[in-house]
Amino acid sequence: ETGVNREYLSDVPQRVIVIGANETETLLDLGIEEAILAADDGQNSQWYGIKASNEKAFQRLPRIDRSTIQAEHFLEMHPDMIIAEQQFFSKTRLGSTDYWNTTSPGKLNQVETVEKEMKFIRDLGIIFHKEETAEKIVSATENRIHDIAETVASHKKPKVMILDRMSILASYGRKKIAGDMAASIGGVVPDTTAAVSDEMMMKLDPDVVFL
């Protein structure tokens, strides 16, 4: 049986490559802009905009284009930490996390929760010695969830689906972080497959759809 995975860092990382809007925003919220060696260039768009409080800091970051996210390129940059979306730890991109001697990302079928996301933020706080700032982020998030849930407690819970149009119509169901977020504030989120058909949509008959 596999035990709890524990990673120990003897020094605070000083050369961090970060890939992903959520990951980049979290590091900026923690106030560790100076440690970011490079962030990917596709994060500030009309669809996934960096929030106003982080915009100036984001514009100062050195950039890396997503097309150059390859193990060979990263090795040339000599990072001491890589924080990236799990999709990039693949054969055609960065390779496995074993190659980098680090913690493996969650399996694609792993249940994602707000609680795990809060742990991720707390862990980053420990790594970068920003525990107090991390705790403020977590507390603000938990308080906001509580306030919304309390406000809508007397209302009928709407059935919610969160979708993304890619090569397929993808659903972020109950076991994904977006689904758990919606459920935590009073939505009823169906546990769907990753790909959903028009027929399934009609059968589930959601009250609210985020696309």
pLDDT at 84: 83
- Smallest CA-to-CA distance from 39 within 27, 24, 29 is with 24
- Higher-confidence residue of 114 and 2: namely 114
Confidence of residue 3 (pLDDT cuts 50, 70, 90): low
Q: Mean pLDDT score of the chain, rounded to an integer?
A: 86
Stretch 180-205: mean pLDDT:
92
Q: Is the pLDDT of residue 189 over 70?
A: yes
- Higher-confidence residue of 21 and 113: namely 113
Residue 143: how many other CB atoms lie within 10 Å: 10
pLDDT at 173: 93
Calpha distance 47→172 (Å, rounded): 17
